[in-house]
Structure 1
Amino acid sequence: MSFHVVAIFLLLVRTNANSEGDALYAFRKAVKDPNNVLNSWDPTLVDPCTWFHVTCDNHNRVTRLDLGHAKLSGYLVPQLGRLQHLQFLELYKNELVGPIPKELGRLKNLVSLGLYHNNLTGSIPSSFSNLSNLKFLRLNSNRLSGRIPRELAKLGNLKILDLSNNDLCGTFPTFGSFSKFPEQSLKNNPRLEGPELMGLVRYDDDGLCK
């Protein structure tokens, strides 16, 4: 391999690391961290793979973010959608508030999304329908509202779905991947009306379902 090829490769790796480091640091700035679990997230370091709770592959690309039960409070940030090689995003059992950024729908390699037991509000992004590799989607025990996007039913690899203990409303899809999930996946959403009838969505109550 020539010197120029090696130099270009190293430049690409460094640029990718900088981009991912910037995305992670944007999240760090958006949260309060009373236990200093993000203390190693130093923006002056080129490689975020040296940070605690961050896992990378052999090409120094971020593949896991494990921050469950870390007592973090604050917001999710749209910059997390830049972590193009991320496979596991685990932020469960924290005190995160605000909406789920639609930009998380860009994480095409995501296998597991664990945001359960927070205080997230707003709707479930329909952009999640782009997460074709997703196997585990756990959004339970938040304060999410609005309809369940019927586009999620096309996630053919989805094995575990938990949307329970929220404030979701309207009807829910029963086709595609949703045909195999038990009622437990949707329990304790008092405003859910039941399944779609013959694959049709009722829109007459849109003013009430928000």
Structure 2
Amino acid sequence: MASPSLLSFLIPLLLSFSSTISTNFEGNALHSLRTRLSDPTNVLQSWDPTLVNPCTWFHVTCDSNNHVVRLDLGNSNISGSLGPELGELKHLQYLELYSNNIGGKIPKELGMLKNLISMDLYGNKFEGKIPKSFAKLKSLRFLRLNDNKLTGSIPRELTTLSNLNVFDVSNNDLCGTIPVDGPFRSFPMESFQNNRLNGPELKGLVPYDFGC
């Protein structure tokens, strides 16, 4: 059995090692993101994968344990696409990628970010459906996907997001009906305008994806 003095030495060492492994995973995930993006104004120039962790990179914020909690790349003139590696940012709370030219599908792996509070992807060129996996984001308060090229219906699974305060999907190409349960009771109609939506859902009368 290890002596108390040995344990007092090993425990902080193991915790530090665990934190380093975690931040390395996060750094690798962010570097993978960088390889998917075109960056004509070099806003990602500081993203050096040889560093121990990404906490010194511009537009990246870490907590006291060196976990990435915020990614701020809004209005950065970047283009390209997102990949599944973003799901590795387990501690991320704020994902701010608004007002760029990022396209392709929104990765379903973003639904793995259980600590996420705000996701701002508006003002890009995202296409395809809103991932149903977003229903796993139980801490989410702000979800802004407006001004993209999203199609399909609004996933009914999102009605379980009890903490969701702001939801905006205006100016897309969504179809079907607007959910009326959970937090969707309080969202203004402006959050849904300029789509192919057929108004609020009429339960028992027409399918929620009517018109898709």
- Please give the range of the TM-score, normalised by the shorter of the 2 chains: over 0.9
Give the letter for the 2:203 counterpart. Answer: M
The residue that corresponds to 1:24 in the other structure is 30
Cα deviation for residue 111 of structure 1 reads 0.4
Q: 1:78 and 1:204, CA in 2 relative to 1: closer, same or farther beyond 3 A?
A: closer
Greater Rg by CA: 2
Measure the CA separation in 1 of the matches of 2:24 and 2:182.
39
CA RMSD of aligned residues (A): 1.4
SS of the counterpart of 2:149?
Answer: coil
Is contact 2:27-2:49 (8 Å) kept? yes
SS where residue 128 of structure 2 aligns?
coil
Q: Does the 8 Å contact 1:150/1:172 carry over to 2?
A: no
Could you tell me which of 73, 77, 80 is aligned with 2:79? 73
C-alpha contact (below 8 Å) 1:33/1:73 kept by paired residues: yes
Aligned match for 1:173, one of 176, 179, 184: 179
Tell me the amino acid that sits aligned with residue 129 of structure 1. A
Letter in 1 for 2:142: F
The answer on whether the counterparts of 1:14 and 1:47 sit within 8 Å (CA) in structure 2 is: yes
State the partner residue of 1:202.
207
* Aligned residue in 1 for 2:3: none
Where do 1:8-157 residues align within 5 Å?
8-157=14-163
Q: What is the correspondence of 1:180-191 to structure 2 with a 5 Å cutoff?
A: 180-189=186-195, 191=196
CA contact (8 A) 1:123 1:145 kept: yes
Residues 32 and 9 (structure 1 numbering): CA distance in 2 closer, same or farther, change over 3 Å? same
> Would you say how many aligned residue pairs link Structure 1 and Structure 2?
206
Q: Which runs of 5+ in 1 are unaligned?
A: none
Matched, 1:192 2:200: no
1:175·1:199 contact (CA, 8 Å) conserved in 2? no
- TM-score normalised by length of structure 2: 0.94
Amino acid at match of 1:168: L
Q: Structure 1 segments of 4 or more deviating over 6 A?
A: none
Alpha-carbon spacing, 1:136–1:84, altered in 2? closer, same or farther (3 Å) = same
- Aligned partners of 2:204 and 2:157: how far apart in 1? 12
